[in-house]
């Protein structure tokens, strides 16, 4: 029973963390430029990499396809 509670706790924590790092869709070149400048920060770069890794996929092509569909 305790193990189930631990798993629920981990899922909840990960869900909260995921919500905080969702990637906003860029609708203009200015938004892409802003994203590019924000990646100078190591912390922002790590957040983006973590969010993209959660998209999943069998290989890079599948990962890019999934990311573009979101």
**Beta carbons within 8 Å of 63's beta carbon, 6+ residues apart:** 52, 55, 56, 57
The domain segmentation of the chain, as residue ranges, is 2-69
Q: Compute the distance between CA of residue 26 and CA of residue 35 in angstroms, rounded to an integer.
A: 8
> In the prediction, which pLDDT does 51 show?
82
Under 8 Å between Cβ of 5 and 41 = no
Q: Compute the distance between CA of residue 58 and CA of residue 70 in angstroms, rounded to an integer.
A: 17
Q: Compute the distance between CA of residue 34 and CA of residue 14 in angstroms, rounded to an integer.
A: 27
> In the prediction, which pLDDT does 29 show?
93
What are the tens digits of pLDDT across the range 7-60? 777 767 666 555 556 677 788 999 889 989 999 999 888 888 888 888 888 888
């Amino acid at each position: 029973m305790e193990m189930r509670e631990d798993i629920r706790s981990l899922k909840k924590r990960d869900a909260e963390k995921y919500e905080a790092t969702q990637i906003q869709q860029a609708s203009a070149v200015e938004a892409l430029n802003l994203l590019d400048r924000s990646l100078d920060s190591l912390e922002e770069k790590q957040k983006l990499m973590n969010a993209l890794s959660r998209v999943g996929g069998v290989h890079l092509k599948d990962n890019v396809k999934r990311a573009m569909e979101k």
